[in-house]
Amino acid sequence: MLTVLSQTGGIVLLLALATQKWLTGISKTNYVLTTLKCLWFVFIYALCTFLIVPLIARPLGRVPLPMRETGHLKPHNLLSCLLNRNYVHKDLEQTAFRVAAQMHQQFPGSTLNYLDAGFPFINGFPLLPHLSHNDGKKLDLSFYYRDAKTNQVLNSNGSFTGYGICEEPLPGEINTAQGCSKNGYWQYSLLKKIVSQKNKEALTFDEQRTAAMVNFFVADENIGKLFIEPHLKTRLKLSSQKIKFHGCRAVRHDDHLHVQLK
């Protein structure tokens, strides 16, 4: 489970188990000894995650996106960083920083909030539950919202994970989620059913900033493809040939933007 969640967690656990014998000399009490073993694992895991893994991954072509706001780019949830799900190729990192700077320049106070990216090592290693985040070339980003009551600009989307708060089709817009579900793709709207929707009423979808973010990414020469739900492509008046439909085998993309390198 640790390997599935963080790629390196299983190896770190084996390392912690192999090096914890010295702890028995501190205490013979089961409760104290168990606590010390857990703390030892946390220490080894933190050492690997923050120091060792980035040093090894960089020469192999992947770099971690920042754990705190840097250059107007930040994680939506720190858990993505703690689980090593924030690694990308250098070109994608540079693109993300460029778009973050452009967004801040055009909309002062705005940050670019990233969600899941990729693991630090091994092409083809799955980043569950994603189908394609397995090579450091993909990155998910949060949409922009405003406070529904005050119209104040927000840099949050109301979801703990960043996923599942969907911008539903309006009357007359194509309803891809409904079509995919009718065709038997039960997983297409699964995240919406799992994630609490209680914060949705407090948010208003910020079409202007979200459209600007998409256009900044499609204009970048490093980017080869973007995924966003078809009804939002129409609503936001997006016309780039780089914007594609991700297919019913994936999950819906009216809660986040997916970008990837050429």
The Cα–Cα gap between 146 and 109 comes to 13
* 115 and 243 in a common domain: yes
What pLDDT, on the 0 to 100 scale, is given for residue 3?
96
pLDDT band at 23 (very low <50, low <70, confident <90, very high): confident
Q: What is the mean pLDDT of residues 80-93?
A: 97
pTM above 0.85, yes or no: yes
Last residue of a domain, one of 60, 83, 108: 60
Residues 27 and 97 in one domain: no
Please give the share of the chain, as a percent, with pLDDT higher than 90: 89
8 A C-beta contact, residue 145 and residue 206: yes
Judged against a pLDDT cut of 80, whether residue 33 lies above it is answered with yes
Q: How many separate domains does the chain show?
A: 2
Residue 28 has pLDDT above 90, yes or no: no
- Average pLDDT over all residues of the chain: 95
Residue where one domain finishes, among candidates 38, 60, 82: 60
Predicted confidence at residue 198, as pLDDT, reads 87
- pLDDT-derived band at 58 (thresholds 50, 70, 90) equals very high
> What interhelical angle do 9-18 and 30-47 show, nearest 10?
130
pLDDT in tens, 102-140: 999 999 999 999 999 999 999 999 999 998 999 999 999
Summarize the confidence of residues 199-216 as an average pLDDT: 95
- The answer on 86 and 160 residing in a single domain is yes
241 shares a domain with 201: yes
Specify the pLDDT at position 88: 98
What is the domain range of residue 50?
Answer: 1-60
